[in-house]
């Protein structure tokens, strides 16, 4: 059973650690760039009853909360594993008209959308993004690279404001681009459909996690996420010997006092970037612990500073 299956069973934020029945501890580690995630939990005997319970809980509304959390983590890993601080973080918006109910009627607004080539739906937005990527590939080739050297990660989402009745929600793109010759100025020049905000990527001080949270923050409307095929996906590594039952008990029972110290002794090259998340189950004993660590270093987040200026 995979770590994300255990995550479904251990969904209670509070509880009392019960070590009875914990015969072994499994640690799943995912390394991406300088970051590392750990999922620590007791091993369970795989029974038909356990499989049914996992399947049942995956169909509950609580699963959406877990899925949202995992989308954010998947985005963070992809950024950490594939992009450097030379990458450009961009928010690309469209030149939508100022919508004044007293000055323009619906037909006029719709005609303005058509004249400006504004996206009516995700199909239009995807077409515009493909044109943007082609312009960037040409810049990469001009700088001495190959078209396949361009790496990109794009999230297209709807604005949170209510649209004008009869018109679609406004769309925008959150992007990370990297390749030979790709600079904030080049990205700005290649985006011809509206405004862009561009800055270099900062990976230290938990920058990738904060960027992933920003990219996946929206709670209403739709979202489309895609990335280039040349991005590598980190592979989980499973160990049944790294964490003992006693250490799991100490981590869960007194996480704020001992958790950071125990984990940084086990992984001396890493530091804990935030206190581990401990969750309990009403179905299995022990506890499920999620923690993020990072190789020691420092730095900033230029993309975030650029966003705050605008």
pLDDT, tens digit (0-9, with 9 covering 90-100), for 259-274: 888 889 989 999 998 8
Confidence at residue 98, expressed as pLDDT on a 0 to 100 scale: 67
| 185 Cβ contact list (under 8 Å, min separation 6) | 198
Confidence at residue 36, expressed as pLDDT on a 0 to 100 scale: 94
Which one, of 235, 226, 100, 114, lies nearest residue 168 by Cα?
114
**Residue boundaries of the structural domains of the chain:** 88-200
The four Cα atoms 131, 136, 141, 146 give a dihedral, to 10 degrees, of: -90
Sign of CA dihedral 82, 176, 273, 255: negative
Is residue 26 helix, strand or coil? strand
pLDDT, tens digit (0-9, with 9 covering 90-100), for 73-91: 999 999 999 999 999 999 9
Confidence at residue 309, expressed as pLDDT on a 0 to 100 scale: 47
Residue written as token pair 């890493």? 270
Residue written as token pair 């966003």? 307
Beta bridge partners of residue 27, listed in sequence order: 40, 239
Confidence at residue 218, expressed as pLDDT on a 0 to 100 scale: 64
Work out the widest C-alpha separation in the chain, in whole angstroms. 71
Which one, of 278, 273, 296, lies nearest residue 76 by Cα?
273
Regions of the chain short of the pLDDT cut 70: 98-106, 108, 115, 162-166, 218-222, 256, 297-310
Element (H, E) at 155: strand 151-158
- Tell me, which fold does domain 88-200 have in CATH? Alpha-Beta Plaits (3.30.70)
Confidence at residue 139, expressed as pLDDT on a 0 to 100 scale: 98
Q: Are strands 88-93 and 288-295 parallel, antiparallel or unpaired?
A: unpaired
Confidence at residue 103, expressed as pLDDT on a 0 to 100 scale: 58
């Amino acid at each position: 059973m995979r770590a994300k299956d255990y995550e479904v069973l251990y969904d209670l934020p509070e509880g009392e650690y019960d070590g009875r029945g914990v015969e072994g501890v499994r640690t799943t580690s995912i390394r991406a760039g300088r970051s590392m995630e750990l999922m620590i939990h007791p091993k369970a005997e795989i029974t038909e009853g356990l499989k049914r319970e996992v399947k049942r809980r995956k169909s509950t509304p609580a699963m959406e909360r877990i899925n949202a959390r995992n989308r954010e983590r998947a985005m963070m890993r992809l950024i950490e594993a594939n992009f450097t601080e030379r990458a450009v973080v961009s928010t690309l918006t469209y030149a939508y008209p100022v919508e004044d109910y007293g000055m323009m009627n619906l037909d006029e607004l719709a005609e303005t959308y058509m004249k400006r080539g504004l996206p009516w739906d995700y199909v239009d937005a995807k077409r515009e993004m493909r044109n943007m990527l082609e312009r960037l590939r040409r810049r990469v080739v001009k700088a001495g690279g190959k078209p396949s050297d361009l790496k990109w990660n794009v999230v297209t989402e709807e604005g949170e404001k209510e649209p004008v009745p009869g018109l679609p929600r406004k769309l925008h793109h959150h992007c990370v681009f990297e390749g030979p010759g790709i600079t904030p100025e080049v990205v700005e020049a290649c985006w011809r459909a509206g405004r862009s905000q561009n800055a270099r990527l900062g990976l230290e001080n938990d920058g990738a996690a904060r960027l992933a949270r920003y990219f996946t923050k929206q709670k209403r409307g739709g979202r489309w996420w895609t990335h280039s095929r040349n991005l590598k996906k980190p592979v989980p590594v499973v160990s049944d010997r790294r964490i003992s039952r006693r250490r799991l008990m100490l981590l869960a029972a007194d996480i704020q006092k001992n958790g950071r110290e125990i984990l940084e002794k086990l992984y001396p090259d890493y530091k804990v970037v935030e206190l581990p998340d401990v969750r309990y189950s009403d179905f299995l004993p022990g506890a499920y612990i999620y923690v993020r660590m990072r190789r020691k270093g420092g730095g900033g987040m230029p993309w975030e500073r650029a966003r705050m200026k605008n």
